[in-house]
Chains A and B, each alone.
Chain A
């Protein structure tokens, strides 16, 4: 049995979620290889080659793969799937973009967003915004699976001795082109891999008021997230949204500030180890899942919290 793991990276370094996907491959069992598709991404392949237990690292280095355009990468991965029983990628906006294309080209019914492996053909996945966990068994010979990063503890990043093999296949569908991107730059840890996350909701009232969270985030080394209401109101950009339709996080500590606790928000954070809620409404649903609830006006509590952390 062999698995192909499609690495997620920015052409310079692996994204941490790749190690969670590797962990899912290890839970499935058997050997696994890693595909690094990108442009000028040889350093990423070298990084992948030392991941514990890796067999081969396939390096597909071509301009057509630079921005992980789904039309090109989806076809590349389908073309490389021969000889593998499983094809795995992260359930991120990158994986969700190309992997269903790969599955369709392979005539396989993909299983998305798994949080557990019961056996090589049976997986656990949340449905209905996480109010239920479905156990899904697939009969497809080629199993195409996307993995929720927070569902699996990261595999060791070193200790392996894989060999890098260049892949010649050039899939340039000529259907799409990258035009540009606005990538948020931050000194803070990345939201989905941070060990502490502090999120603000509609209760924050404005984007400027997020500075109240920043002071605390700096002291805790935390990432900053938001509810959909805060993003929709234009307080903060979309990449900060936590929830069913945003990012899934599961840090050691999640602090929800001025967030009511709608099911769609809980879907993105309720697997956090410790949850704190600060809300002035003592009946806010967020308190039902919070380990520590503080009923308070956030405009008083946040400055106090910041100075208490000195």
Chain B
């Protein structure tokens, strides 16, 4: 069984980015880019499935500009066997990405598709379920545990109230939450080996998918700034301020 892992190139989670003054977007010039953290967890889960001999091959796929090859190489260094780049304009919408993934899914016929629950730039949280709907597959979103057993899989999901367990009929779609696993680091020998692993490039045209935009970002602005606050000397002063100045406690 193959595992397909869609991965997104995003700004590194530790970088503090800024809004461009002209309101057209985020300034990403010379900013460190990385594999979306949730996609790293997805790769790790897929590699563990192969190591446990549940899966036979791990295929990473990215949709985006040619520089996404850097992130695909990282995934290969982390243990993916093969990679596919669907080369497109930057910033495609989740629905278009889901359609491209459906086309790749049809070609590759994986048993499991593992995506991140969310990309940390757009914070959309859409692509996994959209792809699952287009492919007619069940989904275990926000997974903190995945157990495959023959024709079914059990997924523990992190939901608002706690944890929910669902049983899904294979093939399945899973989206990762933070506590599914802790991704490994790529070793130097594996980084070297990754350079020789296959990385194929295709396009939306070759896949026959229309990726036209439906939404337009009219403006990007910083949120309203909070007024700087004060430091209090001690607990009594804190309670006094909260009671008499902010009026958010007491007077009961």
Contacts and interface: CB of A to CB of B under 8 A. Distances in A.
Interface of A: 67, 69-71, 74, 91-94, 96-105, 107-113, 122, 126-140, 173-184, 192, 196, 220, 228, 231-232, 237-239, 244-245, 247, 252-253, 263-264, 270, 273-276, 282, 287-296, 301, 304-305, 308-309
B109 interface: no
Contacts of B77: none
Contacts of B239: 305, 308-309
Given A71-B138, A109-B93, A309-B239, A239 B160 contact: yes
Nearest to B231: A293
B138 A175 contact: yes
Contacts of B219: 134-135
Interface residues of B, number: 80
A126 B123 CA distance: 8
Interface stretch (B78-86, B191-199, B241-249): B241-249
Contact of A179 (B137, B138, B166): B166
B17 interface: yes
B121 A127 contact: yes
B168 A176 contact: yes
Interface of B: 11, 13, 16-19, 26, 93-96, 98, 117-118, 120-134, 137-139, 141-142, 144, 154, 157-169, 177-179, 213-223, 226-232, 234-236, 238-239, 241-242, 246, 248-249
A238 B17 contact: no
Contacts, number: 261
Given A137-B215, A184-B162, A294-B231, A175 B93 contact: no
B139 A93 contact: no
B240 to A, nearest CB: 9
Contacts of B234: 294, 296, 304
B94 A110 contact: yes
Given A127-B123, A263-B16, A136 B164 contact: no
13 contacts: A71-B132, A92-B160, A96-B129, A101-B139, A108-B214, A127-B26, A131-B222, A132-B221, A176-B167, A177-B168, A181-B164, A245-B120, A305-B239
A238 B167 contact: no
Chain B, interface SS category: mixed
B223 A70 contact: no
Contact of B129 (A97, A196, A270): A97
Nearest to B135: A104
Chain A, interface SS category: mixed
Given A70-B129, A237-B162, 18 more contacts: A91-B125, A100-B128, A109-B213, A113-B125, A131-B222, A132-B223, A133-B222, A135-B221, A175-B138, A177-B168, A178-B164, A181-B161, A184-B161, A237-B163, A294-B231, A305-B239, A308-B235, A308-B239
Of the candidates B128, B214, B241, the one having the most CB atoms from chain A within 10 angstroms of its own CB is B214
A131 B166 contact: no
A238 B231 contact: no
Contacts of B96: 109
Nearest to A109: B214
B218 A127 contact: no
Of the candidates A101, A122, A309, the one having the most CB atoms from chain B within 10 angstroms of its own CB is A101
A275 B248 CA distance: 10
Given A100-B94, A128-B26, A177-B166, A94 B160 contact: yes
A158 to B, nearest CB: 25
Contact of B139 (A70, A136, A263, A308): A70
Of the candidates B16, B19, B226, the one having the most CB atoms from chain A within 10 angstroms of its own CB is B226
A48 to B, nearest CB: 20
Contacts of A305: 235, 238-239
Contacts of A245: 117-118, 120, 177-178
Query: 7 smallest A-B Cβ distances: which pairs?
Result: A175-B138, A109-B214, A100-B129, A291-B229, A101-B133, A104-B130, A104-B133
Given A67-B164, A239-B162, A74 B218 contact: no
B98 A239 contact: no
A105 B231 contact: no
B166 A178 contact: yes
Contacts of A108: 95, 214
B221 A244 contact: no
Contacts of A273: 248
Contacts of B118: 245
Contact of A175 (B120, B123, B137): B137
A99 B127 CA distance: 11
A105 B136 CA distance: 10
A182 B134 contact: no
